[in-house]
Structure 1
Amino acid sequence: MAATATLPGAGLGVDGERGWDEWNPTEETVRPVRGRHRVAKQRNGLARSSAVLGVGVIAAVGAGGMASAQGKPPVSISLPDSIADNLPDAKSLPGVGALLSDKSEDDGAAPVTAPLTTAGITTAEAEQGTTDAGEALRARILQQAEQQQAAADAEAREAQEKAAAEKAAAEAKKQQDAAEAKAAAEKKKAEEEAKKKAEALRLAKLAASYAVPTTSYTITSTYGQAGTMWSSGHHTGLDFAAPTGTPVKAVHGGTIKSAGWSGSYGYRTVLELEDGTEIWYCHQSSIGVGVGQKVSTGDTIGRVGATGNVTGPHLHLEIHTADGTGVDPMGWLRSKGLNI
């Protein structure tokens, strides 16, 4: 007894319009021939032609959702009992069982057909009305492309915003650095000006308490100047050339430490200040003070002369620190605010 199976898209049904007769090919009934329907001997004694293989291919393609038999009439195919008994229930095949009607063919109902392309469609896509797997795949690809493009655009915007923020921060820092540098320069300039002004005030106060040792003078020899006319080989003081008798004044208030003749220095007066500094007035024509006498700034203590080892009338002035070291009189006087 042969079994009859109905597959969509294989041909016409059993209604008599078109059909296939039962065919049970074996090695004994079918002579091997060269050509399209050549039959080969199988292990179980059965043979399969290219037509049977074609039926299997159609079933496989239908199960994979790759083809649709919608709109095509069914066809009856007869298979040997030995094969039909071993075939699985068509309803249990993935993607095929849903295509078959639960009702018997005796009821006269038409077989239920559904597009095989619904295989691979997600539940969400089905709820949205999608029935074609290819169209669903296309929609998913487009959606993924849009998501990737949106992510790339967002990344590009983020990079642009980051670059703009870094540029703005760099510009702000540059402006801040320039402002700080300008403020520092102005502050330094103000400090220098304030320092100069304070020094000027200090010198002005000192000048009020210090005095130039004589008037109407000309500087003829400076401290450290070399020459054979000095026994030490260099000049040890500052020479103020002036007419004989020009008044010699106390540079600052102090006490007369010595007054009298001093060899090559001629008549010399030594004025000691409160810090121990000594001021020597040499080559005087006359001395007007005595030892131990207190004098104030600007007091006359003698007269310009040409006594001792000289070539003409002048005041030879020397400055010695408390330890007896000689220093440059011009620098010392200028440090007291005097303009020499």
Structure 2
Amino acid sequence: MMINRTMTQSNANPSPSPTPSISSSIGMYKPSGDNVDLFWQWNSLKDKNNRKSVTCDFCQKTSTGGITRAKRHQLGIKGDVGACRKIPEDLKFEMKKAYESKFIDIEVSMGPLEEDEDEDDIQVISRMKRPSSISAEHTSTTKRRGINVKGPLDLLFARKPEESIKVGKSMRQTSLNDTCNKEARARVNQYIARFFYRNGIAFNVARSKSFKLMIEAIDNYGPHLKPPSYHELRVPLLKKELEYTKVLLKSHEEERAQYGCSIMSDGWTDKKNRTLINFLVNCSLGTMFVKSVDASEYTKTGEKIFELLNSFIEEIGEKNVVQVVTDNGSNYVMAGKIHYTQ
């Protein structure tokens, strides 16, 4: 579990939006006051004088370890209590955010704690993320120095960027509007925009799915992410991306072998006045770039264009090709006629 030790904005302790799925029982009591734990909005007491016996508002399970154990139950932290199965996933994500925000306030203010329960929570996190050989004294010192370590809870709640984007947009937008400081968002956006401007990045990159996934991945990681170095981008990460692309290409090959595909050629001229042709293949999984060819010596006649197209068709597999889409230049028209005559 990552504990953020620095206050990043004035409203570091947002209150997640209420949910209509919480059941209420007659005679149940909820503590109130300035120092009451956030999780009391999802838990209740049968006896207001006994705060060690806490009942979950979702599944009505009663635990005897106080609000701390009730948190573990609702957050699904493995240990001495079973996880609640009736909390909606989107609310559970909000509850985790509230759980982290509580620690931010504790570390910044060092104010009064409710029955030492929040202090107990910090010690629980310390045990989760540190070897058992570390002394309690060192643990107490470390938590105040502000070391940012990810632990089992982060792995439990971690979402892939693709999954986060699919989470209801209305829920995410409402959460942001209610809790996020507009000035802080504007400041972050200005840094992103400056990165675009100073590096000559096209504005339409902001519309790409990979850009959104990158932002979502950074958000899921949290603060203090060490960005990739020049060497990492140039060697290990590039190799991993190549392997990932090969996997995508393999799935496309299997798809077009079963359902067929379309070959598309896109010709253009570079600054050196070379005629280049990009070859792409489209199937039910989408369009994939395959290769680019220097066709400076091929584009002058229809016969040469036919040779180039025919070699690519054989590379893809003639039985898999449904159609070929090209420019409407006279040389391409001639290449098409030659193809039909053979």
In the superposition, the TM-score normalised over structure 1's length comes to: 0.18
- Give the number of the structure whose alpha-carbon radius of gyration is greater: 1
Q: Where is the strand percentage greater, Structure 1 or Structure 2?
A: 1
